[in-house]
Amino acid sequence: VPRDSDHVHAAPALPAALRGAGRRVTRQRREIWDALVAEPDRHLSADEIAERVRRRLPLVNPSTVYRTLDVLVDEGLLLRTRLGADRAFYEPAREHPHHHLVCERCGRVDHVHEEALGDLAGRLDAAAGFALGGAELTFFGLCADCRDSEPGSRTTPGS
């Protein structure tokens, strides 16, 4: 089974994407984008993004960063995934859906692709006559590392 880490996730360049939308490229948008692209496998919160932008643009008000994040999400350039009321993270939008696996112990966030879910759409159709749209799902549980560190939780073959 191919893992998501084997998968190439090219993010579009911000200037091209913004020009396509007829928008002006501001320094701040570029810094937000660069911060996200610099850590493609992290899922950054708005606070973490604001902190990174302010390292480069110390005069920027965090609330301006938050507003700009909202605009970039509305424009389809960024994806915001909400994890309950008080946690949300941002990443560059990709061309194909990703489901998120969130570790409730260490906060780590991983991706899995459609294949990992099997024929979910077919099962929902059969069970409820429901036509699944382009949903991206978020699952909560324990990541592999945290699971391994749980006493007696699972035995890894060969270790």
By CB under 5 A, name the binding residues for Zn ion.
Answer: 7, 91, 103, 105-106, 108, 143, 146
Cα distances (Å, whole numbers) of residue 38 to 6, 44, 138: 18, 11, 23
101 strand-pairing partners: 110, 139
CB of residue 21 vs Zn ion: minimum separation in angstroms? 22
CB of residue 125 vs Zn ion: minimum separation in angstroms? 24
CB of residue 127 vs Zn ion: minimum separation in angstroms? 27
Nearer to Zn ion, 126 or 144 (CB): 144
CB of residue 153 vs Zn ion: minimum separation in angstroms? 12
Nearer to Zn ion, 2 or 129 (CB): 2
42 is written with which tokens?
A: 């992290």
Nearer to Zn ion, 116 or 143 (CB): 143
DSSP annotation string for 50-64 = HHHHHHH-TT--HHH
Count CB neighbours of 144 within 10 A.
13
Nearer to Zn ion, 63 or 159 (CB): 159
- In this structure, the strands spanning 99-103 and 109-112 are antiparallel
